[in-house]
Chain A
Amino acid sequence: MQLLSPGVGLLVWTLVAFLIVFFILQKFAWKPILATLKERETGIADAIASADKIKAEMASLKNENEALMIQAREERAAMIKEAKETSNKMLSDAKEKARLEYDRIVADAQASILQQKNAALTEVKNQVGSLVVEVAEKVLRRELANKADQESYINGLAEVVKLN
């Protein structure tokens, strides 16, 4: 029956030892261990949560980027179209302006040609007039002397005039 009757010594020593070990371990072992384990676990959970959050953010960013890209592409197309139109317009404007200038220059040139032609004609007429008067003067002077001479003289004069 010694087996089933607890010895008072062991009872007391076990109780004392248990309490001491309990308080020592509670203060110096379980507290830091459990705290660290908890900290680590919450850290991991937080990390996973934040990773998920970042993933979601990345996805939304990607969507945003795509939308932006599409918008930019549209804008670019519109800009190109506009630029083309502007350049076309500028080109046609320039052409038109050049044509007008050309017409004006041509008209000016024609006017001045006409004017110079008229001036030249007038001068020619005046010259011919004065030549006729000179020839007539010379003819009148030789007529008195010789008929034949007169004629040859006139021919000579006419020759000079022709040469002129």
Chain B
Amino acid sequence: MAFRSIKSLLVVLFSVASMLFTTTLHAENEPGKAAEQAGKEKKEGAFDPAQLIMEHILDAHEFHFFTVGETEIAIPLPVIVYSKERGVAVFSYGNLSHGTIYNGYKSEEGKIVAVDAAGKIEETISLYDFSLTRNVVQMLLALILLTVIMIKVAGKYKKGGANTAPSGFQNAIEPVITFVRDDVAKPNLGLAYEKYMPYLLTVFFFILINNLIGLIPGTANVTGNIAFTVVLGVISFFVILFSTNRHYWKHIFWPPVPGFVKFILVPVEFLSIFTKPFALIVRLFANMVAGHIIITCFVMLIFIFGAMSTVAGWGFSPVSVAFTAFIYFIEILVAFIQAFIFTNLTAVFIGQSREGAHDEAHH
């Protein structure tokens, strides 16, 4: 009885103080099952913090909440795979859980692979995985939420016109919009800021809402996924490129420096075209991953200590929870800061590509 209450208490602790703890745990490669069991000194050898952290950080084909006994509480998501040889296949990930083979596909540590009749992996088939993974699903839900909020707010503006004071959620959105306009767009883009406002606002809120929703315990780490940041970085790369003028290119290929320095500077300047969006990509990705890893680590510490002795585990848990809560507050701050930094730097880079001569000195 006491054992069970401790167990359920830990489950609560998990879901409240931390994020999604275990993602795609499969029976065959994780005999210890979930962390709460690992903490219960059943099979201490099976508790692998590094793997759990990676599973938390990475994408998965299901929303896995926790495991009670032998049953996994998880929502399987649709799998969409394409290969030249086999065409498109759509089915639920539930069919693949626990390593079963379905329709010639199998899940290898969360990755969908094609297998032949004998159950051997077919290396020749290159599979393109367009599955609605938990990152995709969560992102889509977040974006639906964002769109609904923004359209509602916009409706208020349309209804109220310019002469009514903002009310309700409008009050929360308006300062953010004016902040992006007055402190991000206007100082960096000057008079042309209006042209870039929709893009900057979309990027800002796109990152912000995914950051914030990613902080809810049990959710996926969307903004901490390199694919997500790559897309945003590439989009800003194209926006920057489309904003360039003659001046900018002249500055890159014919910088105003003495002849021999040109040979050094031109490649550097040319590389800077690509390093700018690359920095954006890596910055957002690394920051969000780091935050999630730290939070998971602090929670994990309880079980690492718990694996040594039950007393140590219990004794450390208040410290760990306190640290987790602390990091959580920082992460909420970081969610806003990263959205701001991404937007602001994009605006700065656009501004540089538009003016060239004035801003090159700051590199």
Number of B residues near A (Cβ < 8 Å) is 51
Interface segment out of the listed A12-20, A87-95, A104-112: A12-20
Give the residues from 1 to 60 in chain A that come closer than 8 angstroms, CB to CB, to chain B: 2-15, 17-18, 21-22, 24-26, 28-34, 36-37, 39-40, 43
Closest CB-CB distance, B265 to chain A, in whole Å?
Answer: 30
In the complex, residue of chain A having the shortest beta-carbon distance to the beta carbon of B209: A21
Known: A28-B154, A33-B154, A34-B177. A43 touches B163 (CB 8 A): yes
Known: A33-B157, A36-B162, A37-B174. A9 touches B136 (CB 8 A): yes
Given contacts A14-B139, A25-B150, contact A40 B163 (CB under 8 A): yes
Q: How far, in whole Å, are A26 and B195 apart by their CA atoms in the complex?
A: 11
Knowing A13-B132, A14-B231, A37-B177, the reply to whether A5 touches B154 (Cβ < 8 A) is: no
Q: Is the CB of A12 within 8 A of B150?
A: no
Q: Is B130 an interface residue (CB 8 A)?
A: yes
A28 to B150 CA separation, bound complex (whole angstroms)? 8
Q: Interface residues of A, CB < 8 Å — how many?
A: 33
Asked whether, in the complex, the Cβ of A15 is within 8 Å of the Cβ of B231, the reply is: yes
Of residues 261 through 303 on chain B, the ones whose CB sits less than 8 Å from some CB of chain A are 289
Do the beta carbons of A33 and B177 come within 8 Å of each other?
Answer: yes
Q: Is the CB of A29 within 8 A of B129?
A: no
Supposing A6-B227, A14-B139, A15-B231 touch, asked if A21 and B151 sit within 8 A by C-beta, the answer is: no
Contact (A30, B130) CB under 8 Å given A39-B162, A43-B163:
no
8 A-B pairs (CB sep. < 8 Å): A8-B130, A9-B133, A10-B225, A14-B228, A18-B202, A24-B147, A25-B151, A37-B178
16 further A-B contacts with Cβ under 8 Å, apart from A9-B80, A10-B225, A25-B205, are: A2-B58, A6-B226, A7-B133, A8-B129, A9-B129, A9-B133, A13-B132, A14-B136, A17-B139, A17-B143, A18-B235, A25-B147, A26-B198, A29-B147, A31-B154, A34-B197
